[in-house]
Amino acid sequence: MKVAAIQMVSGISLEANLQAAHALLAAAAREGAELAVLPEYFCLMGHQDSDKLAAREVWGEGTVQQFLATAARDLGLWIVGGTLPLATDSDTHVRNTNLVFSPAGQCVARYDKIHLFRFSNGREQYDESRVIESGRDPVTFDLPSRDGKTWRVGLSVCYDLRFPELYRALRADLLLVPSAFTHVTGQAHWELLLRARAIENLAYVLAPAQGGTHENGRRTWGHSMLVDPWGVLMDQRAEGPGVVAGELGAERLAQVRQQLPALEHRVL
pLDDT in tens, 225-267: 999 999 999 999 999 999 999 999 999 999 999 999 999 999 9
Distances 216 to 9, 12, 13, 36, 220 between C-alpha atoms, Å: 11, 7, 11, 26, 11
Q: Which of 34, 113, 128, 239 is catalytic?
A: 113
Task: Give every CB contact of residue 239 below 8 A, 6+ residues apart in sequence.
Answer: 9, 211, 212, 222, 223
pLDDT of residue 46: 93
Can you give the CATH number for the domain in which 251 is found?
Answer: 3.60.110.10
> Is 113 among the catalytic positions?
yes
Domain count of the fold of the chain:
1
Residue 268 domain-assigned (yes or no): no
Helix (H) or strand (E) run with residue 160 in it: none
DSSP 40-104: TTTT---SSTTHHHHT-B-TT-SHHHHHHHHHHHHHT-EEE---EEEE-SSSS-EEEEEEEE-TT
Residue 267 domain-assigned (yes or no): no
Q: Which of 40, 128, 133, 239 is catalytic?
A: 40
pLDDT of residue 124: 79
Q: Torsion angle of alpha carbons 154, 13, 242, 111, nearest 10°?
A: 0
Q: Which of 52, 133, 158, 239 is catalytic?
A: 158
> Is 251 among the catalytic positions?
no
Residue 265 domain-assigned (yes or no): no
With H, G, I as helix, E, B as strand and everything else as coil, classify residue 143. strand
Residue 148 domain-assigned (yes or no): yes
Residue 266 domain-assigned (yes or no): no
CA distance 121 to 84: 27
pLDDT of residue 125: 83
Mean of the per-residue pLDDT values for the chain? Answer: 97
pLDDT of residue 49: 86
Select from 208, 54, 219 the least CA-distant residue to 131: 54
Residue 116 domain-assigned (yes or no): yes
Range of the domain at 177: 2-259
pLDDT in tens, 177-210: 999 999 999 999 999 999 999 999 999 999 999 9
β-bridge mates for residue 247, sequence order: 2
- Residues 32 and 75: beta-carbon distance below 8 Å: no
Q: How confident is the model at residue 50 (pLDDT cuts 50, 70, 90)?
A: confident
> Is 52 among the catalytic positions?
no
Report the chain's C-alpha Rg in angstroms: 17
pLDDT of residue 44: 97
Residue 141 domain-assigned (yes or no): yes
